[in-house]
Copies of this chain bind each other. A is one copy, B any other.
Amino acid sequence: MVKPSSQRRRGAVQDLGTEARILDAAHTVFIRRGTSGARMQEIAKEAGVNSALLHYYFRSKAKLSEAVFRRAAAELLPAVIAVLVSDREIEDKIEAVIEIELTKLLQAPYLPGYILSELAHHPERTRQLVSSATGMIPEDVGRRVLGAVRKQITARVRAGTFHPIEPEQLVINLLSLCIFPFAARPMVSLLLGLDDGEFERFIVRRRRQLPAFFLRALRP
């Protein structure tokens, strides 16, 4: 964001650069409280600076939340989209998407909750979520993904090795199965009776089992 200058100095409280520290703190607090529930005060405290500094670096809360969302959005889909538009075999794509996405979300388990919550209340940010993928415009991302998958499905169905399925359903099924358990984590944990460690192991097992589950559903 409108960064007034680029000096970086050593020896700060916990060096990282003030701007980056503020951004990290904002990320933490926005995830914890949601964008409208977050307080600039709390972010400042989390970053170990005064709240006036947040305005110095990011001008306004809206701008700061925009910066945080931009960074978070780049984590959720890009890798997955890259796989889906590649020229790998469809089975490889499915396995890779599950492996990549679950592994990433194990590192950032609260990301889906934050992103989906943002989308629900600021749908206009959706375009950014999708396009942050590859720099393509969102409409093209969708067309390319669906086009690539459709072509592969068609070939497989013709060869008699796939049960027919709409590419739209396939893609959404894949995203659903990967992202939902994190987005609904509190519900999942309570329903299954899992503490934090058990939830993590649940996902690790899932990462191993989901590809086979999904591929069985595609057999003729």
Chain A residues within 8 Å of B, Cβ to Cβ: 32-37, 110, 113-114, 116-117, 119-121, 123, 126-127, 129-130, 138-139, 141-143, 145-146, 163, 165-166, 168-169, 171-173, 175-177, 179-181, 183-193, 202, 205-206, 209-210, 213-214, 216-219
Chain B residues lying within 8 Å of A130, measured Cβ to Cβ, are 187, 190-191
Q: Once the chains bind, are A126 and B186 in contact (CB under 8 Å)?
A: yes
Chain B residues lying within 8 Å of A189, measured Cβ to Cβ, are 126
Q: Once the chains bind, are B209 and A34 in contact (CB under 8 Å)?
A: no
If over half of A's interface residues share one DSSP class (helix, strand or loop), that class is named, otherwise mixed; here it is helix
A202 to B121 alpha-carbon distance, docked (Å): 23
Q: Once the chains bind, are A186 and B119 in contact (CB under 8 Å)?
A: yes
Chain B residues lying within 8 Å of A166, measured Cβ to Cβ, are 205, 209
A37 to B191 alpha-carbon distance, docked (Å): 28
Which interface residue of A127, A129, A142, A180 has the most chain B CB atoms within 10 A? A180
Chain B residues lying within 8 Å of A126, measured Cβ to Cβ, are 186-187, 189-190
Offer 19 A-B interface pairs, CB within 8 angstroms, sorted by A. A33-B121, A34-B34, A34-B37, A34-B120, A117-B121, A119-B186, A119-B187, A126-B186, A126-B187, A127-B190, A138-B191, A139-B190, A169-B205, A173-B213, A176-B179, A176-B180, A213-B217, A214-B217, A216-B216
